[in-house]
């Protein structure tokens, strides 16, 4: 199947692209994104036929439905990485926490957050295509905490790929920082930046725009690609697990075939919930996708009013930092699906020029057929964490934002799956503050130890080992020196 561009074609880039092209060169004409030309419709009994299949078999069949230009043995090699999750047969378990409420745990991979679900197989696929084409790629990443560790982990020692990862020094949790600076692999460079996440991200944008930098890369025969969720190579793996949610509920005899369910997704860049939207379009019986946000309420505002307005908005730093966002990239793919490329280009031109776009009432009604949205604050999240622990379930602050949607947005009495995007171990000081109802400032190591002791919670060895691991990347630099450092790195 071929891929097309969300904002139409500029006459220079190809009008249609293969999957390989779309993931190696993720930026499309006019700053748009690649999307499948049409979504595959699965056979009528697809879900029934997969009830007794493994996650890898389900994933394989969904990838094949997209007719991607990747050989079967490369697909299988990529999917085999799910064997490294806690339970190879069930990489993302769906567990019941209350009568009609289930948690889909997406954090059982190597870096303990949902990014592994897609980045693990994606890293393998990207490297295999680059190798096949005999091309070399540099992946640049700026991270606020979860993407960096997951990208470094998946690309370490992969052929034909180098990764340079920028993080704000002091702006991530200790666990997240250690996951990055302790990662080894000759093809990885991790740089702390003096400044906050915005500084790291804008430094990366400057680098992408720098002619001297591009010249250097070209001289060494290196191309640039991206590993964030603008890359469809991540999105395709984020469709699969929504089918898994449904199949798991069926296996647990909670639903009958065809019965609809709600999915609640804690959202930032909208990649996770976009996977749910695509799954629904492919035939998964979803009543509605409920979008949870934190105090950065731009997604709630957009879905409820049809207006995306960031003119007077400032990014707020919250206890669910992976959802702190103003510009959410993947809403563009939904907009393209519902209103086509011409409208998509109009909206995003408006957003770039005026920091606002406005949909018609009719367009907004269409959007609301698929999505409902609500946001909550850190104090609400802390109460949720405490209440659930009282019932024996430990959750992270991102997962906690889902409960507001569960309580307030459901219109029908249907089973609901909330997505747990990180393990509590990645945000242990916030979790401990919630459990102890205090605001003491803890370091991660201390909070991890207290929680595991007091609440008998298991610490995965990958987290425990971080605190005695060798630090392989100790540079913290000024923004002005980033280009020089990365050029030094690619020159080996």
Ligand X SMILES: *Cc1c(COP(=O)(O)O)cnc(C)c1O
Interface positions with ligand X (CB under 6 A): 113-115, 146, 229, 266-272, 322-323, 398, 421-422
Closer Cβ to ligand X, 344 or 421, answer by number = 421
Closer Cβ to ligand X, 93 or 271, answer by number = 271
Closer Cβ to ligand X, 29 or 231, answer by number = 231
Kindly write down the DSSP assignment for every residue of 425-487, as one continuous string: GGGHHHHHHHHHT------HHHHHHHHHHHS-PPPPHHHHGGGGSPP----EE-GGGHHHHHH
Task: Find the shortest distance in angstroms from Cβ 228 to ligand X.
Answer: 9
Count CA within 13 A, CB hemisphere, residue 223.
Answer: 17
Closer Cβ to ligand X, 124 or 399, answer by number = 399
The structure tokens listed for 37 are 């030309």
Task: Find the shortest distance in angstroms from Cβ 291 to ligand X.
Answer: 9
182 in helix, strand or coil? coil
Longest dimension (CA), the chain: 62
Tracing tokens 């991607």 back to the chain, one arrives at: 68
Task: Find the shortest distance in angstroms from Cβ 322 to ligand X.
Answer: 3
Task: Find the shortest distance in angstroms from Cβ 227 to ligand X.
Answer: 12
Distances (CA, A) of 246 to 46, 89, 93, 101, 283: 12, 16, 12, 13, 12
The structure tokens listed for 413 are 């009495």
In sequence order, what are the beta bridge partners of 4?
A: 35
Closer Cβ to ligand X, 91 or 271, answer by number = 271
Alpha-carbon distance of 33 to 25, in angstroms, equals 10
Closer Cβ to ligand X, 94 or 129, answer by number = 94
CB 19 within 8 A of CB 69: yes
Residues in contact with 170: Cβ distance below 8 Å, sequence separation at least 6, in sequence order: none
Kindly write down the DSSP assignment for every residue of 252-266, as one continuous string: TTS--TT--EEEEEE
Closer Cβ to ligand X, 270 or 302, answer by number = 270
Count CA within 13 A, CB hemisphere, residue 229.
Answer: 31
Task: Find the shortest distance in angstroms from Cβ 223 to ligand X.
Answer: 25
Task: Find the shortest distance in angstroms from Cβ 212 to ligand X.
Answer: 32
Closer Cβ to ligand X, 108 or 115, answer by number = 115
For the chain, what is the total number of helices (H) and then of strands (E)? 22, 15
Number of Cβ within 10 Å of residue 297's Cβ equals 17
Closer Cβ to ligand X, 36 or 276, answer by number = 276
Closer Cβ to ligand X, 28 or 402, answer by number = 402
Tracing tokens 């080996």 back to the chain, one arrives at: 492
Task: Find the shortest distance in angstroms from Cβ 114 to ligand X.
Answer: 6
Task: Find the shortest distance in angstroms from Cβ 21 to ligand X.
Answer: 23
Task: Find the shortest distance in angstroms from Cβ 140 to ligand X.
Answer: 18
Residues in contact with 52: Cβ distance below 8 Å, sequence separation at least 6, in sequence order: none
Tracing tokens 């419709």 back to the chain, one arrives at: 41
Alpha-carbon distance of 116 to 110, in angstroms, equals 7
Task: Find the shortest distance in angstroms from Cβ 328 to ligand X.
Answer: 7
């Amino acid at each position: 199947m071929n891929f097309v561009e969300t904002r139409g074609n500029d006459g220079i880039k190809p009008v249609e692209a293969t999957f390989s092209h779309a993931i190696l060169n993720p930026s499309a004409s006019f700053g748009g994104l690649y999307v499948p030309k049409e979504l595959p419709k699965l056979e009528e009994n697809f879900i029934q036929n997969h009830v007794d299949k493994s996650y890898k078999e389900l994933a394989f069949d969904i990838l094949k439905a997209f007719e991607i230009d990747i050989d079967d043995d490369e697909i299988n090699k990529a999917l085999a990485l799910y064997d490294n999750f806690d339970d190879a047969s069930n990489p993302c378990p769906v567990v019941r926490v209350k009568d009609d409420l289930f948690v889909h745990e997406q954090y059982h991979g190597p870096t303990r957050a949902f990014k592994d679900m897609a980045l693990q197989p994606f890293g393998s696929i990207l490297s295999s295509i680059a190798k096949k084409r005999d091309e070399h790629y540099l992946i640049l990443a700026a991270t606020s905490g979860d993407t960096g560790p997951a990208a470094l982990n998946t690309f370490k020692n992969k052929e034909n790929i180098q990764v340079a990862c920028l993080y704000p020094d002091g702006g991530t949790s200790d666990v997240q920082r250690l996951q990055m600076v302790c990662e080894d692999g000759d093809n990885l460079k991790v740089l702390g930046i003096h400044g906050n996440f915005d500084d790291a991200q804008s430094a990366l944008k400057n680098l992408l725009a720098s002619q001297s930098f591009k010249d250097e890369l070209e001289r060494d025969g290196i191309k640039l690609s991206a590993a964030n969720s603008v890359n469809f190579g991540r999105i395709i793996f984020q469709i699969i697990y929504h089918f898994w949610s449904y199949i798991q509920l069926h296996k647990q005899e909670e639903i009958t075939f065809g019965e609809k369910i709600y999915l609640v997704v804690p959202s930032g860049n909208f990649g996770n919930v976009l996977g749910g939207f695509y799954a629904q379009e492919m035939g998964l019986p979803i009543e509605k996708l409920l979008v949870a946000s934190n105090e950065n309420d731009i997604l709630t505002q957009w879905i409820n009013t049809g207006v995306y307005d960031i003119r007077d908005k400032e990014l707020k730093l919250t206890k669910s930092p992976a959802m702190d966002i103003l510009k959410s990239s993947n809403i563009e793919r939904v907009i393209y699906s519902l209103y086509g490329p011409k409208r998509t280009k109009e909206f995003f031109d408006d957003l770039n020029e005026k920091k606002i776009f406005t949909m018609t009432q009719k367009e907004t009604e269409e959007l609301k057929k698929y999505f409902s949205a609500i946001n909550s604050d850190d104090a609400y999240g802390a109460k949720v964490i405490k209440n659930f622990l009282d019932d024996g379930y430990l959750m992270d602050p991102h997962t906690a934002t889902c409960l507001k949607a569960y309580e307030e947005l459901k219109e029908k009495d249907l089973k609901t799956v909330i997505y747990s995007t990180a393990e509590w171990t990645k945000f242990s000081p916030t979790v401990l503050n919630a459990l102890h109802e205090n605001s003491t400032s803890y370091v991660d190591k201390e909070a991890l130890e207290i929680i595991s002791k007091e609440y008998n919670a298991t610490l995965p060895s990958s987290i425990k080992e971080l605190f005695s691991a060798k630090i392989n990347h100790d540079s913290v630099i000024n923004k002005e020196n980033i280009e020089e450092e990365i050029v030094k790195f690619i020159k080996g």
